[in-house]
Amino acid sequence: MGKELAMKKDWIARELTIEVIIGVFIVMVLLGLTYFTFVLKGRVFGAPEYSMKVRFYDVMGLRVRDDVICRGMPVGEIKSLELDEGGKGVHVHLTLNKQLHMKVGYKITVVSTSILGGRNLQIYEGLPLKWW
């Protein structure tokens, strides 16, 4: 009887060890997936974010999480879209990874990125007053 009890305790200890190893493995996989999600999206965890609000009359199918592009580089994403109460357009809220300084002649447009309907928000910062 004592030998059976010792064997049962050994079996329970092995099962518990296997379950702990599997649990740690699953947690490590989830942490790795989270890390690579941030890396692929180009975000740095804890980095400062800058907000910008733009009003358009027509956003041409722009969606939340579409990219914001400046000088050919992604610098943020669309955070939210909301209709203007007075019927004067759509408010687009942006989250930027870098602070942009708008200058004389700046331009913000919605551009098509694919035949399938992808859109981006393109920002041209403009030129400083004396650029020559």
Look at the alpha carbons of 26, 30, 35, 37 in this order and tell me if their dihedral is positive or negative: positive
Spatial contact of 85 and 102, defined as CB atoms under 8 Å apart: no
Q: Which residues contact 114 (CB under 8 A, 6 or more apart)?
A: none
Structure confidence at residue 96 (pLDDT): 92
Structure confidence at residue 85 (pLDDT): 83
Structure confidence at residue 24 (pLDDT): 94
Structure confidence at residue 30 (pLDDT): 95
Look at the alpha carbons of 35, 40, 45, 51 in this order and tell me if their dihedral is positive or negative: negative
User: Could you tell me the residue ranges of all domains in the chain?
Assistant: 1-47, 50-124
Spatial contact of 79 and 50, defined as CB atoms under 8 Å apart: no
DSSP state of 87: S
Closest CA to 121 of 104, 131, 100: 100
Q: What is the pLDDT along the chain (132 residues), one digit of tens a residue?
A: 567 767 777 778 888 888 999 999 999 999 999 888 777 766 666 678 899 999 999 898 899 999 999 999 989 999 999 998 887 899 999 999 888 888 888 999 999 988 888 899 999 998 887 755
